[in-house]
Amino acid sequence: MPASRKIPVHGVPMREITLSGDNPPLRLYDTSGPYTDPDHVVDLKLGLPPRRREWIANKKDVKDGVIAYKIAAHAADIAKGHPRAREWDDALSKARFEFRWEDQFNLSLDPETAREFHDETLPAEGAKLAHFCSMCGPHVCSMKITQDVRECAEREAGLQQKAVEFKQAGGEIYLRE
């Protein structure tokens, strides 16, 4: 890299680029790593330096970053009106309302974490069919209550319809005086 040199500034690797004319040199962060240090001995058998080794072994922050990108990209697709993005969200909402837990996990942006969070408190396989989760519990699960109310309304509507049909057919009910 002509017209530049690598210099440490308070231990941070910088690259100082010489500019033309009377312009002072420009310093930029140098991302080239140790391989551009003249004193660095490259020996692949040594593996990664201990500090990086730990970081690579714990890849969670990398994964979290990727998931954050996925969320942002999906939000952008929704904002742009991408029809498949909306379809995806609707499919996930439907799976959620119908308590299809496996479908919910698989449709999520991070299925592994979604499954882990669910299984933290309800690890049994049967819980993947349950009509509640551990967040509100079985007695106040608003989605279960909504389903029950809907089913009840449907049953009522069905009974009322049958009463109308019964009367139209001239049916009579014996009522004790």
Residues of this chain that interact with ligand SF4 (CB under 6 A) are: 132-133, 135-136, 141-143
Count of residues in the chain = 177
CB of 149 to ligand SF4, least distance (A): 14
* Contacts with 33 (C-beta within 8 Å, 6 or more apart), sequence order: none
In sign, the C-alpha dihedral spanning 88, 89, 94, 97 is: positive
Q: Which lies closer to ligand SF4 via its Cβ, residue 45 or residue 139?
A: 139
- Identity of the residue, 15 or 133, whose beta carbon is nearer to ligand SF4 in the bound complex: 133
Comparison of 30 and 95: residue with beta carbon closer to ligand SF4: 95
How far apart (Å, rounded) are the C-alpha atoms in residues 119 and 128?
9
| Closer residue to ligand SF4, CB minimum distance, 30 or 101 | 101
Q: Yes or no: say if 141 and 131 are a contact pair by the CB < 8 Å rule.
A: yes
CB of 100 to ligand SF4, least distance (A): 11
Taking a C-beta distance cutoff of 8 angstroms, is the pair 110, 67 a contact?
A: yes
Closer residue to ligand SF4 in complex, CB, 95/141: 141
Give the shortest CB-144-to-ligand SF4 separation in angstroms.
Answer: 6
Structure tokens at 86: 């909306």
Alpha-helical (H) ranges within 7-59 are 50-57
d(CA 90, CA 101): 15
**Shortest distance in whole angstroms from residue 169 CB to ligand SF4:** 43
Minimal distance, residue 145 CB to ligand SF4, in Å: 8
Tokens of 114: 């979604």
